Amino acid sequence: MSKKTVVPTKGNLMTMQRSLQQARLGYELMDRKRNILIREMVLLTDKAKSLRGKVEETYRQAYLALQNANITLGISENIAHTVPIENGISIRYRSVMGVEIPSVTLKTNKIELKYGLARTNSQFDIAYIRFNEVKELTIVLAEVENSIYRLADGIKKTQKRANALKNIMIPMFERNVKYISDSLEEKEREEFSRQKVIKNIKLRQNKSK
């Protein structure tokens, strides 16, 4: 609402003052929310960096062990098919300042060999164990990276709302409050001058009687 469409009344002044107060409070809340989300994202970014290093190193060890197993046993694809598909992953969500953050959990079971020992060796066992570790680390990394993405999106939306309040809504309400206040003050001065003139006229009339 621009000042051109605002009727300068005391009622509108009170309405604009309340709107201005709410807009300022909204901006403070948006700014606080943005800072909290940024702080949360920075912590997760550091965690993701550490996890990526662990995942890469564990993958390196796993593929090296698998390569050694293939060299000593031949191609291990048929044996690998005996390893069951993972279906123990569950996802829940928690809210951080209104942003839904995933919490991924893996049902941990004792590692059991699902293949015969007669056709494998220790290198294959090492590869199996390392790939199991990779699976667990990848699940944690997926949770962290998805959380970072959601937080970044939340920060972007919060920043957009904060900018709209700071650069558009608050200045508009400030202009309207000033316009109405100035208009009311001008009316009061005009009314005071009018009353003074009327008083002087009445005094002159009384004197002339």
- The pLDDT score that the predictor gives to residue 159 is 95
- The pLDDT score that the predictor gives to residue 191 is 74
CA–CA separation, 34 and 154 (whole Å): 8
pLDDT at 157 over 80: yes
| Domain annotation covers residue 58 | yes
CA–CA separation, 119 and 8 (whole Å): 91
| Domain annotation covers residue 73 | yes
Computed on alpha carbons and rounded to an integer, the radius of gyration of the chain in Å comes to 36
| Domain annotation covers residue 3 | no
Least confident of 125-129, 163-167, 193-197: 193-197
What average pLDDT does the segment 80-100 reach?
81
Overall number of domains in the chain:
1
pLDDT at 109 over 70: no
Provide the whole-model pTM. 0.73
Return the CATH number at 74: 1.10.287.3240
What average pLDDT does the segment 175-180 reach?
93
| Domain annotation covers residue 1 | no
- The pLDDT score that the predictor gives to residue 79 is 67
- The pLDDT score that the predictor gives to residue 89 is 84
pLDDT at 97 over 80: yes
| Domain annotation covers residue 180 | yes
pLDDT at 114 over 60: yes
User: Is residue 166 within a helix (H) or strand (E), and if so which, with residue range?
Assistant: none
- The pLDDT score that the predictor gives to residue 124 is 78
Residue positions counted in the chain: 209
Range of the domain at 113: 8-203
Mark 69-96 as b/e (b = at least 16 C-beta within 10 Å).
beeeeeebeebbeeeeeeeeeeeeeeeb
Cα 56 to Cα 49, 119, 148, distances in angstroms: 11, 29, 20
Which residue, chain included where needed, has tokens 């942003």? 99
Which residue did the predictor score with more confidence, 142 or 75? 142
CA–CA separation, 3 and 10 (whole Å): 14
| Domain annotation covers residue 75 | yes
- Enumerate the β-bridge partners of residue 104: 91
How sure is the predictor about 107, in pLDDT bands with cuts at 50, 70 and 90? confident
Answer yes or no: are the C-beta atoms of 134 and 65 closer than 8 Å.
no
| Domain annotation covers residue 209 | no
